[in-house]
Amino acid sequence: MALFELTLVLLLIAVALTALSRRLEVPYPSLLALAGAGIAFVPGAPTIEIDPELALALFIAPVLLDAAYDTSLRDLNRYRLPLVALALGAVIFTTAAVAFVGWKLAGLPIAAAIALGAIVAPPDAVAASAVLGQFKVPHRITAILQGESLLNDATALLIYRLAVSATLGSIMLSNAIPTILLSTIGSLVAGYLLGRFSLLTLTRIEDAASSTVVQFAGTFGVWILADRLGLSAIITIVVYAMTIARTAPRLMSARRRVSTYSVWESAVFVLNVLAFVLMGLQARSIVGRLAGEGQAEAFVFAATVLAVVIVSRLVWVMSYGVIIRWLARFGSEGQGRDAPTLRGGVLVGWCGMRGLVTLVAAFALPADFPGRDPIVLAAFAVVLGTLVLQGMTLKPLLRLLNLDPDTTVDREVAQARVAIMQAALDILSGKTSNAAAAVREQYTAQRTIAENPEDAQAATEYDRLRLYAIKRQRDALEELRRDGTIGDEAYHRLEEEIDWSELAASPAGRFQPLTT
């Protein structure tokens, strides 16, 4: 009961911290990390033990699916070279550097040291996106960071699984290559087939709440099935999510889609909060067990791992940039334009904040794992240190770098908006009724606005008047319920219809209704 009450309080605190992060223009995970660290000093905080396998499935599976669902296949293909360099090369390089430190400085077994390296290797794009989304940074950088965050999780957690198994004696590192190949190929096939099967199920469910429950159950089911079959649950979930993402939106009604997206956004937020809470409680018990000289050595080791993680990413990213720019000098003009810039490399290198994956992977280590306490403490220090040190300094760094504004997505949205409005007009061209004429007039006005996105007056004239009318509709609906003309069931049904009209009237969330 104490844990439940503490969780409720911390969820409310997390909401307040999120609002504060928007005001300060810092990543909300940075403030969550500080709150999680503060739990270690709360007197009487409960001690929590959770099954390692449950921790991975509960926290990683939904977050991975949410990230993979939003990933652009076009951007993955367009930026495949830097993505491979980061999601594969940087993860392996960081894992090796940290493993060497763990082996030499802390005396960890080599497999356990590799597990530590894999735990702290994958950056989390959530923190970076929280800040980068407030600035018009080049789309290339945002796309690379988001794609890296998805793919590097698969790389790091695959290495993590193998290293943990080798430490516990269930597999030899010398025999790992065939295991990796079989696991990767099998996971790709299983993820695709399970995704196709899931699409068949989703088309038969119309209720929004039931559909959302089935999606969560399917996510956990895919993870558990892949794990039981000896496949990579991470790769399977990523492929599964990307498979359904290409088709599911067309098979879902607007109501189901809006409801589902809201639930998933909230669920990912709650999982982030709970992960920091649980890790804070773990750190508290670990600090208590590491008494005397062992405690000081553990903190020195954690600080060293933090420094190695930050430096190794900067070294890898900057070295990669130098090599690509050098090669671009001998290539075509187009290759030269696509080469990473020095300022872009600095930003990508500094966006190495660790987050949920690192926390949960450390938390999921078996209780009898060699060096578990210093490993978990180091992982917590890396998450806290990178989120605070790098996350809190991203905004001033962006101002210092003064990157050229990027309007790539805005241009694509404007172009697509014109196309879909014209498609609607084309299909209505043969209709001659008065209703068709009224609908054509609406779409013509929307197309005009889409063709002239800079014309704020045109947008105001059309959309703000619609929102003005909708506001009066809401007032009338409230009056009908207040005077007892309609009951709550009729009220909520009409409220939903007005909500959809308001969403249609402000597709980009740019306009506010006029006041009387």
What digits encode the pLDDT tens for the residues 6-46?
Answer: 678 778 888 888 888 888 877 777 787 787 777 767 776 66
Q: How far from chain centre, in Å, is Cα 96? A: 26
DSSP alpha helices (H): ranges in 290-371? Answer: 293-328, 333-338, 342-350, 356-363
Q: Give the separation between CA 451 and CA 441, rounded to whole angstroms.
A: 15
What does 444-475 look like in DSSP terms, one character per residue? Answer: HHHHHHHH-TT-HHHHIIIIIHHHHHHHHHHH
What is the DSSP-derived secondary structure letter of residue 173? Answer: G
Q: Which structure tokens are listed for 465? A: 């008047």
Q: Which residues of 250-274 are buried (b: 16+ CB within 10 A; e: fewer)?
A: eebeeebeebbbebbeeebbebbbb
Residue 370 confidence (pLDDT) above 50: yes
Res. 305 pLDDT band, cuts 50 70 90: very high
Residue 166 confidence (pLDDT) above 70: yes
pLDDT digits (tens, 9 = 90+) for 111-155: 899 999 999 999 876 666 666 666 677 878 888 888 888 788 888
Provide the CATH topology of domain 1-405.
Na+/H+ antiporter like fold (1.20.1530)
**Half-sphere exposure of residue 369, counting CA atoms within 13 Å on the CB side?**
27
Is the pTM higher than 0.75? The answer reads yes
**Half-sphere exposure of residue 170, counting CA atoms within 13 Å on the CB side?**
8
Q: Give the separation between CA 230 and CA 178, rounded to whole angstroms.
A: 13
Q: Domain limits of the chain? A: 1-405, 408-458, 460-515
Question: Exposure of 381 by Cβ count < 10 A (0-12 exposed, 13-18 middle, 19+ buried)?
Answer: buried
pLDDT at 512: 40
Residue 453 confidence (pLDDT) above 90: no
Q: Which helix (H) or strand (E) holds 111?
A: helix 110-120
pLDDT digits (tens, 9 = 90+) for 179-200: 677 778 888 999 999 999 988 8
Residue 515 confidence (pLDDT) above 50: no
Q: Which helix (H) or strand (E) holds 63?
A: helix 61-69
